[in-house]
Structure 1
């Protein structure tokens, strides 16, 4: 379990690097940042991301796995940051529904992903099962969906790069936006911490209630339920973002998440209550973390896509 936490933190650290550097590099024009062709960067990131995903299950070295997770975090979140900046740049203060829709599509991927992988997982692995002979078979079958997803990701780099290469716009960061990026990064770090705590809590909870033979397929379906609840909350947030101020949504999300954390203390041995709270906690966290921030409109009149 400790190794899993370290691997997850390596991934999150890689995700944090583009967030921290982009504003400073763009503001200071270090290393020719403003002259970098962003569509080419996105295309390269997609190719690297696809390669990493395709070969994730084929490594037996923990050091190589650290490296793959770090590269995945950098490339995946680098693409996400550029897309979010583009949305904020094009729609400015009206970008709320578009931001929520962007997060909603991400949640849909969270629903589909575990369902795709679940058929390739063993139906049940108990502590007394002799699975030594099946390890290579499981590893090989898991390579199939990972390889397919990796190839699709890499192939999408070509049309995606061509689409973004036609027009350009640029969001020049200000001190206020820099502070907001730091705040958003801190909030996201908090949510990652909560997710890590939930993993250990679910493990302890399963032991206390006697769920010691939970199958890996059940875990995949459980992840789908969490992503489904998140997607539902973000789908609801799309119309709400047009009528509710971002600050109001922020305080609503904080209050609901605090309430769910308090109730979680009483879910000591109640399977139903724990399941409901986990399905409820994740959407609340994403709701207020993804609340739209009103950014100044810096859109050029003849451009819609992010290039420079």
Structure 2
């Protein structure tokens, strides 16, 4: 028996849409990871220093946070149409970004891209959880696995076209951007077509709305929206406290993932080891490969009963902390130590994002409006880290480690707090009444048979 919290569409269509969410997250993550690959070439294209180009990421992150507010629109409109529009817009910003020439226009492009990306992060995660409810663990991990695939192939796709710092050759980075933009637009149009094949029906969250025939149509509609808003965003004060803590978990996961993939190439180049752009790119690939393997493993592992979101998050953040300590020890003295840290970092980073969303769903049904809170908080957090890193990494590349350690330590504390406070709010799993009745009948037959023999 399926949970009553699951979307009322067929299991086959849910599986199809989950595959679409994997592809959507693949393209979304591809859009995110390319920023780290592009910094050195953008310095040439826009004739601007590292710090000024890096501020584009700050603009994008602020816009990402604002874009999360699209959850209010997503909550009222069909998700298939919304995701179509968003991917078309993302594709256009990707195709234009290398032809703009002026830094302020680059900031505008990044702002639009970030605004839509915040909405895409929200819709892919919440949509997947909404379809599977308490059973969402493996499916959310699978969606994020799609993002891991993009993390590992992004450096490979961009590598032949990146000129690197100090090169006199003309940048050809426009080629992968054009291809990526075309893929995003094509996927968006395909998702729009699925609306005409079968319209998606979301799950309903119980609200206290009652029709009052004495009221006007618009007054009734306003009261209905308000009741849904209250029911979805504020299930109860104690649960809301847990949701806010989970929101911090999501924002931390977003921040350390984004900062690591955005700045790891610059970090390796600017360290005392003075690694080449190619080697730094391979290190990025090592993190991505470990992250890919970690998420692939979690797709099956998350089905086990003892694998809870709290345990997933705690173990993963301990691994991340260990990796950061290795970075601090080996960054300036030993390349092999850095490679080991890269692999451990990827393994730890893999499940944390999906685990944070799953942790929230464990307490109460996750909704688009709760997702707004999560992504908005994440966008704000990621918008401040470039301000720190852009102004300090030229002098001390290990600033990246210090920032990440702060967030990882905070996450470990949050996991422990959520474990202590949130145990009473974990929803019990649905009991299959069919199996219960069947077992009762079997028990009655056995009992009556035994009685007749006596």
TM over 0.5: yes
Q: Specify whether residues 221 and 191 from structure 1 end up closer, same or farther in structure 2 by C-alpha distance, changes over 3 A only.
A: same
Confirm or deny that 1:143 pairs with 2:206: no
Contact 1:89 1:171 in 2 (8 A): no
- Determine the structure 1 residue equivalent to 2:101: 60
SS of 1:110's equivalent in the other structure is helix
Q: Specify whether residues 15 and 8 from structure 1 end up closer, same or farther in structure 2 by C-alpha distance, changes over 3 A only.
A: same
Task: Tell me the TM-score normalized by structure 1.
Answer: 0.79
Range with greater deviation from structure 2 (287-296 or 149-158): 287-296
Confirm or deny that 1:7 pairs with 2:56: yes
Q: Which has the higher contact order (CA 8 A, sep 6+)?
A: 1
Question: How many Å apart are 1:228 and its aligned residue?
Answer: 1.3
- Determine the structure 2 residue equivalent to 1:93: 134
Q: Which runs of 5+ in 2 are unaligned?
A: 1-49, 206-231, 368-454
Counting only pairs closer than 5 Å after superposition, residues 1-308 of structure 1 correspond to structure 2 as: 1-19=50-68, 22=71, 25=72, 34-122=75-163, 127=166, 131=168, 134-135=169-170, 138=171, 141-164=172-195, 166-170=199-203, 172=205, 173-175=232-234, 176=239, 178-179=243-244, 182-192=247-257, 195=260, 198=264, 201-205=267-271, 208-211=272-275, 214-215=276-277, 217-243=278-304, 244-267=307-330, 268-291=332-355, 292-293=358-359, 294-295=361-362, 296=364
Deviations 1:210-258 (A, max 9, x none): 43xx14x444443323211111111111122112111111110121112
Q: What CA RMSD, in Å, does the superposition of the two structures yield over aligned residues?
A: 2.7
Q: Distance in 2 between matches of 1:203 and 1:258?
A: 22
Range with greater deviation from structure 2 (247-256 or 163-172): 163-172
- Determine the structure 2 residue equivalent to 1:305: none
Larger Rg: 2
Question: How many Å apart are 1:263 and its aligned residue?
Answer: 2.4
Q: Distance in 2 between matches of 1:65 and 1:286?
A: 31
Question: How many Å apart are 1:97 and its aligned residue?
Answer: 0.4
Contact 1:12 1:73 in 2 (8 A): yes
Q: Distance in 1 between matches of 2:115 and 2:105?
A: 15
Contact 1:16 1:185 in 2 (8 A): no
Q: Specify whether residues 223 and 5 from structure 1 end up closer, same or farther in structure 2 by C-alpha distance, changes over 3 A only.
A: same
Q: Specify whether residues 188 and 225 from structure 1 end up closer, same or farther in structure 2 by C-alpha distance, changes over 3 A only.
A: same
Q: Specify whether residues 185 and 246 from structure 1 end up closer, same or farther in structure 2 by C-alpha distance, changes over 3 A only.
A: closer
SS of 1:57's equivalent in the other structure is helix
Q: Specify whether residues 170 and 179 from structure 1 end up closer, same or farther in structure 2 by C-alpha distance, changes over 3 A only.
A: farther
Q: Distance in 1 between matches of 2:203 and 2:323?
A: 40
Question: How many Å apart are 1:110 and its aligned residue?
Answer: 1.7
